Amino acid sequence: MSEPGVNDRDDLVFKALASPVRRRMLDTLKAGSCTTGELCAAFPDLDRTTVLQHLRVLERAELVTGRRIGRERHLTLAPLPIKRLHDRWIGDYARAAVDLLDELDREG
């Protein structure tokens, strides 16, 4: 059984990842941290308010963290929620595949 609240947190992550725009935002942050203004500039097809709304969803899911430095807010990708999903949903399958490859290698 999982700890209380894990399913709620995972639901927030899945909701955040459901949007192609938010996935593109995460891709941008994967390349390196940036300011809120730089993130908005990376999405010229969206107005600032829309980018900030998407950013709030990512922050609620704990996929992005922000810290204020002077007047700027610096954003960073926070990969732990994705790792948690990987461990929960993919990890066992990956381990089974590695075990199968190891077994095939020993037989061959």
Helix, strand, coil share (%) of the chain residues, nearest 5? 65, 15, 25
Length of the chain: 108
Say what the pLDDT of residue 94 is: 67
Q: For the sheet containing 64-69, what is the strand order?
A: 34-35, 72-77, 64-69
**Residue 52: φ, ψ to 5°:** -65, -35
Say what the pLDDT of residue 90 is: 78
Say what the pLDDT of residue 1 is: 46
**Residue 63: φ, ψ to 5°:** -90, -20
The tens digit of pLDDT for each residue in 2-57 reads 454 667 888 999 999 999 999 999 999 999 999 999 999 999 999 999 999 999 99
Which domains are present in the chain?
6-78 (1.10.10.10)
